[in-house]
Chain A
Amino acid sequence: MKTREITCIICPSSCRIIVTGDENGIQDIQGYSCNRGIDYGQSEFLAPSRMLTSTIRAEGYVTPLISVRTDKPVPKEQMHSCMKEIHAAVATAPFTIGRVVIENICGTGSNVVLTNC
């Protein structure tokens, strides 16, 4: 059993969430001020994940790069391997927001989608 203090990153309030538990589950969670804070505290304690944002080379776009992000958070420790896959890829038209350009990146279950058009 361990207790961890987690600073919530969901909104600027930066709540300090105190989570007690072990790898099998959470015994106690305090200090949050909204439901999204509970979710963040739980996932940060059990399996930290982050929304990954980056850019991808774009052929035929107005600038050399177009911005992308994952449609779901990816495990924190896989951010660097996801970046390798993003670096190797090239996006082509049509450039529309939300269009998937890499499916299931690094087997995380998250897709990489365009965030500009």
Chain B
Amino acid sequence: MKAVEYDVAVVGGGPAGLAAAIAAKEGGAEWIVIIERDIRLGGILEQCIHTGFGLTYFGEELSGPEYAWRFIEKVEAMGIHVELKSMVLSIDRDPLVIHAVNTNGTFAIPAKAIVLAMGCRERTRGAIAIPGSRPAGIFTAGTAQRFVNIQNRMVGKRAVILGSGDIGMIMARRLTLEGTEVVAVLEIMSYLAGLTRNRVQCLDDFGIPLYLEHTITEIKGNSRIEGIVAAKVDQNNQPIPGTEFNIDCDTLLLSVGLIPENELSKTVGAEMDSITAGPIVDHNMQTNIPGVFACGNVVHVNDLADNVSRESTLAGRAAARFAMESYRPQASQMVQIKAGKNVRYVVPQKIDLASGEEFVNVYFRVSNPDKCVQIYGAVGEQIFSKKNKPLVNPGEIESLKLSVDEIRAANCSCVCVNAEKQGGVQA
């Protein structure tokens, strides 16, 4: 294949990549390519057949494939080039070149700007080290979702789900409707990992028991899983002896977290955040490598696809500006955004004061659930952009709108984002 230089090359054709490519085109970039490893665009949305997508982005409730189609239609109409069934292997810097492979062999795609939109993958049994035998019948929730929703394969007759993440709860409902008995959802933490509305409509609606502060201490069975041993855990998440009980099952789904997929980001030298496991980005979603942007679940695991689309629009627009040479970030104008009280991480991790916006939204997850919380930015003793929130939960992403003028006036190098119990803050 002839190596044509693209203005913007997008790695990944899921919600992040689609929104970024459209925004790049709307932002004036002419030659855009999306490189996708699957046989069609849409990414994981293709198997997310449940509704709940689009409430904030389109103001209506859509299923995953419908939500994806809104973007795919636009990508096609805009004449954005798409390379399907193509896997990116590595990315060079100075100059930026993507190396990929498909059935025709390997090929290179030089680009003025690159958007990393590879999404995330599921944490597996190996990552959480459940003791016991290694029989068949243990799936990550997303793998089971793909079997059931795309490939027309049932995973089992009697299932236990470990982890109360959204995909796990959604699969509890899906399996129940398809005739599998879901006997328990176990969650090691004292609170739900996913969205409350999913507990209501996926577990409560079908009478599926949720065991908080419980984990699996043993997997039984030789060729096929025959059951698990569950136990209550203490404050350090250690099983409490004497609390064990058996649950018979032929299937175990793991919904124990997602990991941003950043092998490629590392090949180009992107600096990573150890908490999010994604690249460190500024508020235009640019990594530390000039011209390399990142968005969606590759940066941090989002709760809603709508948030991914919004964030990816910023990345696509900025990538177009970079490709047209109308935007270059200034290291001297960068202010760090750091996680403060009860905040686990903040994205973006940097704000470029020179880029012209009046306000910048930052997104974060809290470390622990809390009620009657004040969310605010702080520079030393100085507090700004304060707002109240009746309830915060690590499962749901929070946001704070920061005024760039206020940050500039504070003449600081770092702003902390805090989520503190009301009353703890001096006005």
Task: Output the residue of A10, A76, A80, A116 with the most chain B CB within 10 A.
Answer: A116
Residues of A within 8 A of B152 (CB): 55, 57, 63-65
Interface residues of A in 34-80 (CB under 8 A from B): 50-55, 57, 62-65, 67-69, 76, 79-80
- Classify chain B's interface size: 20 to 34
A117 interface residue per 8 A CB criterion = yes
Q: When chains A and B are docked, how far (Å) is the Cα of A97 from the Cα of B196?
A: 29
Task: Verify A69–B51 contact, CB threshold 8 A.
Answer: yes
In angstroms, how far is the closest chain A Cβ from the Cβ of B166? 10
In angstroms, how far is the closest chain B Cβ from the Cβ of A105? 14
B414 interface residue per 8 A CB criterion = no
Interface residues of A in 1-60 (CB under 8 A from B): 7-12, 14, 50-55, 57
A83 interface residue per 8 A CB criterion = yes
Residues of B within 8 A of A80 (CB): 177
In angstroms, how far is the closest chain B Cβ from the Cβ of A117? 7
Task: Verify A53–B66 contact, CB threshold 8 A.
Answer: no
Residues of A within 8 A of B201 (CB): 9, 50
Residues of B within 8 A of A115 (CB): 49, 62-63, 65-66
Residues of A within 8 A of B199 (CB): 7
Task: Verify A83–B177 contact, CB threshold 8 A.
Answer: yes
Task: Verify A67–B149 contact, CB threshold 8 A.
Answer: yes
Q: When chains A and B are docked, how far (Å) is the Cα of A52 from the Cα of B51?
A: 9
Residues of B within 8 A of A11 (CB): 55-56, 197
- Classify chain A's interface size: 20 to 34
In angstroms, how far is the closest chain B Cβ from the Cβ of A25? 23
In angstroms, how far is the closest chain A Cβ from the Cβ of B138? 23
Task: Verify B49–A14 contact, CB threshold 8 A.
Answer: no
B200 interface residue per 8 A CB criterion = yes
Interface residues of A in 63-117 (CB under 8 A from B): 63-65, 67-69, 76, 79-80, 83, 97, 115-117
B168-201 toward A: CB 8 Å interface, digit per residue (1/0)?
Answer: 0000000001100000000000000001110111
In angstroms, how far is the closest chain B Cβ from the Cβ of A114? 9
Task: Verify B63–A53 contact, CB threshold 8 A.
Answer: yes
**Which of these, A7, A14, A51, A52, contacts B61 with CB under 8 Å?**
A51
The 8 closest A-B pairs by CB, nearest first: A14-B196, A116-B65, A9-B197, A67-B49, A64-B152, A115-B63, A7-B200, A115-B66
Given A53-B51, A97-B65, 6 other A-B contacts at CB below 8 A? Answer: A11-B55, A14-B200, A53-B49, A115-B65, A115-B66, A116-B65
Which residues does B use to contact A, with CB under 8 Å?
Answer: 39-40, 46, 49-51, 55-56, 61-66, 69, 148-152, 177-178, 195-197, 199-201, 205, 303-304, 391, 396
